[in-house]
Amino acid sequence: MMYKIIIGFLFIFSTFAMSAQQNNFLHEVAIGVNGGANLYKVSFKYNNRAMDQELGNVGMSMGVKSGISVRYISMKHFGVQLEANFMQGGWNEKFKSNKNVYNVNFSDVKISRRLNYIEIPLLAHIYFGRKLRFFVNLGPKLGFLTTYGKLESNLSSNQFGVFKLNDPRIHDENNEHSKLDYGLSGGGGLDLQIGRLHTVIEARYTYGFGDVYSNSKSDIYQRSNNQDIAITIAFLLPVKTFYRN
């Protein structure tokens, strides 16, 4: 699926680029930094639905996201943006009060694991306006796992024994996790230009098509994909402008 998405976006980019070369337009290359808050979670789904009771409530948690951005405006209303970002991810889950799992009391049990990534999004950048622009970014992203944190929990030995020995979400010794993530990102925001400096505020949602753990029919999980919402501010400075006839 990701292969088809990337091919599709490359086709769109090349089509716009060819169109851009037919017009006398001031092209702009800008480089800058970005940073902000990242709300993240991992969505789990067991192959055996009877095991769903072993999952707590997984909500959004907050981390940080920061990196560098390169943006190329190739024609009126359109450009391409490439980023390299550090992103904190993972999940936090909590079991409700009076929650029982296989007749074992799991009231207020908390489980969490940190997953940090270097992510590389390649985004179509569509904008409207001049000094104050509204824009939309959309495109695929790749993520490379840099930190697979140890399980953090308040599980008792009795509660810990409930989980299957081959459940990688719980057991660190079953360290079979994917180091590559991929997904689709989309967001929008405002770009305010004062002098040469662009101040960019954006909200972006990313849905992961890859899974943290194996998802074949013989594995425990059918799905274990990342999702995040990032709210960032970026500062971009044009480093090159040119005309292409």
Query: What is the mean predicted confidence (pLDDT) over 87-98?
Result: 92
Structure pTM? 0.88
Distance CA 220, CA 190 (A): 43
Q: What is the mean pLDDT of the segment spanning 108-116?
A: 94
CATH number of 2-244: 2.40.160.20
Q: Locate the domains of the chain by residue range.
A: 2-244
Which pLDDT band, with edges at 50, 70 and 90, does 3 fall under?
A: low
> What is the Rg, in whole angstroms, of the alpha carbon atoms belonging to the chain?
22
Q: Note whether 137 and 170 are within 8 A (CB).
A: no
Q: Give the pLDDT score at 162.
A: 87
Residues 6+ apart with CB under 8 A from 223: 43, 44, 45, 211, 215
Residue 173 has pLDDT above 60, yes or no: yes
The token duo for 107 is 């009231």
SS3 content of the chain, % helix, strand, coil (to 5): 10, 60, 25
Note the pLDDT of residue 123.
97
Checking if the pLDDT of 208 tops 60, the result is yes
d(CA 39, CA 182): 17
